[in-house]
Structure 1
Amino acid sequence: MNNNILTNRHDFLLLFEVVNGNPNGDPDAGNLPRLDPNTNRGIVSDVCLKRKVRNYVELFPPKRVSDAANGYNILIKQGSVIERAQQDAIKAAKDEGSIAGSSHAERAKNWLCREFYDVRTFGGVLSTGDDVLKGSAYGQVRGPVQFTFAQSFHPITPLEVTITRCAVTKEEDAGKERTMGNKHIVPYALYAAKGYVSPAFAERTGFTNADLELLFQALLNMFEHDRSAARGEMIVRGLYDFEHVGTQHPNNAEQNKKEARLGCYHAHKLFEGIKVTLREGRAFPESFADYEVKCEWTEQNLPRGIVLHLRHEIGPDGKHRTIGPKHG
């Protein structure tokens, strides 16, 4: 994997489904699956998707090359105390001494970005209490990777399922034969989430091409190690990665680099080339087989300066399928 700082803009579309599960419960609504009240279409928050990525990286972190290289620790996780990591960063930055053109706060921010994959990827609020980061321009980090809320293509009908338990919790209920409970499920839904990767912010956090590859690996496998009765069967059905590479001849490297950083085509128009429709004769979806997913982008009509990586389609060589030129 390439450990150079990311220089090309990426826009990606993620398709995933749930079968008899609750992909993202709403604690303000009794843990009902989140939905849009106007359309009854299901919703999965960006925070939920980021949690899955964090969990995957925490389970399968790449090997760190050296102390000076990027690390793969996770800051936002169960039982984590952000202030402890912040104090470690402040101490490490102080031990590094003065670096020309950098402040104590900037060195502390850089240390946190280097050590923690999720800070380097998603950003975060790093200032707490009375410290060198408080009130500093480096107390908040905007990460290069951002997700939208995922939304289902069609309305969902959440079901409340009653369950029973033969054991009891409290001593005073020892005479009861059964205790009752309930859970909420979505029988079936196909969701789409959009993601954006900015090289401008990658430069500020040290986000590399290797970090991007790890992100896509996590997105493709995030449900495989997150199985539970509550989430049912969740599967990634598509990951379309549009990379901006520049429209100029390869000899014009500087202009290509500028275009690749800025972007060569509107993201929403690229996403519109992925069509998801119900098959003829189906009134509502009951499984993925009821959908037709069609990528209308080909070598002939793909906008100049764009490469489409079909990361969910792995060929015999073990690599994902690509549409478009590799450069320019």
Structure 2
Amino acid sequence: MNEFINRGTGLLLIDVTNSNPNGDPDRESDPRIRQDGCGEISPVSFKRKLRDLVEAKDSPLWQELAEELDLPKEGFDIMESKKTRRADVNKLSLQELLDKYWDVRVFGSTFLENDKNENESFIASGVVQFGLGVSLDPIRIERMTTTKVMPVEEGKSKGMAPLAYRIVSYGLYAMPFFVNATAAHKTQCTKKDIELLLRLIPHVYKETASYIRSQVDIRYAFYVEHNRARGTYNDFRIIEALTPKRITGMSGPATSWHDYDEAVLMQSLDELNVKLIGKTAPVIDLMEQL
């Protein structure tokens, strides 16, 4: 195993315009929404996109990152994949699983429960945990019927999808994430595994855009690496300092990024960096890697 990983604290500010960042299967794929009217993006949906980027070994993105990070050809498969067969997983020892699957080392897995030898430890929790992404303000959901020239049903002159286009007109979502160095001992997660994750984050939405997610992207991807594995500063104070505030006097659903006071956010960032001196590395924006 490589040298120890330090604790990390991150906050993603996900900007959504006329798109559905995460459909809710319990509401006919409406954008996810809370009782208070704020939108949601599930951690599962975000991690799925990260897994897809790692699995796409023929993509220019993967080939560039593999070269830049000097990644070995083996050890970066994805277990939570449609291509993975449970029977093949059951043949592997716990060590072979850790050596083979990047997502098991980084995110852990409940897929292994009851499948491995009783003398082997299950990996239920991983090193990296993404929290629920919640919009900073209530969102408006728009629905529209769409048509297509080629119908799905035989004998129809055109196809209709009543109210199938379900989007958020605008929302700014905050999704925290944490690197728990303590779990790395169990999953054998390395610094290179975490570096790959951090390099992938800026590309999550750009490289997986779709018809219904055409304007979803990360505006800021703040990340703080602590000076020690156990952490050296309060996670929630970091997240609070990096969360944007509405321009004074504005309320209700936001209509664009300009409804938030970016100058106040940058001032809060500068003040936070002063407090972090000697405790963590300075706050970085992963999006600057682009």
Contact 1:188–1:287 (8 Å) recurs in 2: yes
Query: 1:226-250, CA deviations, whole angstroms, 9 ceiling, x for partnerless residues?
Result: 11111121111111112111xxxxx
Counterpart of 1:195 in structure 2 is 177
**Which stretches in structure 2 are left out of the alignment for 5+ residues?**
57-61
Aligned to 1:151: 134
State the 1:19 CA deviation. 1.0
Match of 1:217 among 199, 206, 210: 199
User: How much has 1:123 moved relative to structure 2?
Assistant: 0.4
Residue 118 of structure 1: how far off its partner (Å): 0.4
Change (3 A) 1:164 1:115: same
Q: Which runs of 5+ in 1 are unaligned?
A: 90-107, 246-259, 321-328
Larger RCO (CA within 8 A; separation ≥ 6) = 2
Q: Deviations over 1:207-238 (max 9, x none)?
A: 11111111111111111111111112111111
Tell me, yes or no, if structure 1 residue 120 matches structure 2 residue 89: no
1:49 matched to 2:46? The reply is yes
Q: How does 1:57-68 map to 2 (within 5 A)?
A: 57-59=54-56, 60=62, 62=66
Query: In 1, distance between residues paired with 2:225 and 2:30?
Result: 37
Asked if structure 2 preserves the Cα contact closer than 8 Å seen for 1:18 and 1:232, the reply is no
Question: What's the offset of the Cα at 1:27?
Answer: 0.6
RMSD: 2.4
Q: State how far apart, in whole Å, the 1-side matches of 2:156 and 2:242 are.
A: 58
- Amino-acid identity (%): 26
Can you list the C-alpha shifts for 1:303-322, whole angstroms capped at 9, x where unaligned?
Answer: 641223313363xxxx69xx
Q: Quick one: structure 1 residues 45 and 180, their matched pair in 2 at CA, closer, same or farther if it must change by over 3 Å?
A: closer
2:247 counterpart of 1:264: no
Higher strand share: 1
Matches of 1:66 and 1:301, distance apart in 2: 38
Higher helix residue share: 2
TM (norm. structure 2) is 0.85
What is the number of equivalent residue pairs in this alignment?
A: 274
1:305 maps onto 2:271 in alignment: no
Q: Distance in 1 between matches of 2:206 and 2:158?
A: 36
Check conservation: 1:86, 1:112, Cα contact below 8 A.
no
- Which letter does structure 2 place at the counterpart of 1:286? T
Deviation at 1:165, TM superposition (A): 2.1
Q: Counterparts in 2 of 1:231-246, with a 5 A limit? A: 231-245=213-227
Inter-partner Cα distance in structure 2 for 1:275 and 1:177: 46
Q: 1:196 to 1:159 in 2, by over 3 A?
A: same
User: Are residue 110 (structure 1) and residue 95 (structure 2) matched?
Assistant: yes
**In the superposition, relative to structure 1, how do residues 180 and 145 fare at CA in structure 2: closer, same or farther (>3 Å)?**
closer
Q: Would you say the 8 A contact 2:219–2:287 is kept in 1?
A: no
Q: Tell me if the contact between 1:223 and 1:235 (Cα under 8 Å) persists in the aligned partners.
A: yes
Task: List per-residue Cα deviations over 1:123-155 (Å, max 9, x = no partner).
Answer: 0024366x5x15445233421011111000000
C-alpha deviations, 1:77-96, integer Å up to 9, x for none? 23432332231x1xxxxxxx
Q: Secondary structure at the match of 1:124?
A: coil
Aligned mates of 1:228, 1:198 — CA distance in 2: 32
After superposition, where does 1:1-328 map in structure 2 within 5 Å?
Answer: 4-37=2-35, 39-59=36-56, 60=62, 62=66, 71-87=75-91, 89=92, 108-127=93-112, 133-171=116-154, 174-181=155-162, 182-245=164-227, 260-280=228-248, 282-283=250-251, 284-293=253-262, 294-295=265-266, 296-298=268-270, 299-302=273-276, 304-312=278-286, 314=288
Matched-pair contact (CA < 8 Å) for 2:153–2:159 = no
* CA–CA distance in structure 1, aligned partners of residues 122 and 287 of structure 2: 40
Structure 2 counterpart of 1:145, one-letter code: V
